[in-house]
Amino acid sequence: MTITAFFALLALLMVSTIPYPSIKAVKIEGRRAYPMLVLILLTLVVVLLNHEVMLFGAFFASYFFLRVVVHPPTWPPHPYELPVAVAGVNTAILVSSSFTIHYALESIRRGNRTGLKLGLVLTWLLGATFLFIQVNEYAHLGFSARDLGFGSIFYCLTGLHGAHVFVGLLLLSFATIRAFRGHFGPEAKDHLGVEVPGIYWHFVDIMWIIVFTTVYIL
């Protein structure tokens, strides 16, 4: 991980865990300066997401090199098979979590803290279910990362995404704890700790749709 990505990840954790009012205000020309600090942190979060897109892109390039350039007779190579139906159900579960995190964000924008809590808890549960099913899938696949290039790239792509889901669950855990402690409010500056993990979670969902389509469908 590059130094820039490290600081971007640190910014993601800061925006997700530190209550906005606790960021010390500084007077610059008679105005408070901490909104600019938040803007800088959000910019670093965008940098992190761009870094992660490039990381996934490198693995996708390796995947298509193995499939198109090496061009084995069958894909997946015989006798390996992928549980497309199970992965499809898992995809539906993860995509559903995008709607629940959106519901949580819209709820707090309207001042509905009960809806916020419900949305965050449901999102966490759906994400944890997705991760559990993926781990269970690994246990029953019948091949490992050491089995040909196909096994290596399959586990690298899906495992990389699984690691991002884990980070997302960690951020959602912070957000949920803060929601139950009443840290969030309807003003934009008062629910960054929900909005930023939500952006990250939507990114995770979109990347899985691409991974699922590429690895399981095409």
Q: What residues have CB less than 8 Å from 49, skipping those under 6 apart?
A: 199, 200, 203
**Structure token pair of residue 123:** 């999102």
Dump pLDDT digits (tens) for 99-134.
Answer: 999 999 999 999 999 999 999 999 999 999 999 999
Domains of the chain in sequence order? 52-217 (1.20.120.80)
Query: pTM here?
Result: 0.82
| Helices then strands, each counted (H, E), the chain | 6, 2
Using one digit for the tens of pLDDT, what is the confidence trace for 1-33?
555 455 555 555 655 665 554 444 444 444 444
pLDDT attached to residue 27: 45
Higher-confidence residue of 26 and 183: namely 183
Beta strands in 17-57 (DSSP E): 27-28, 31-32
Torsion of CA 33, 39, 44, 47, to 10 degrees: -150
The three-state secondary structure class of 31 is strand
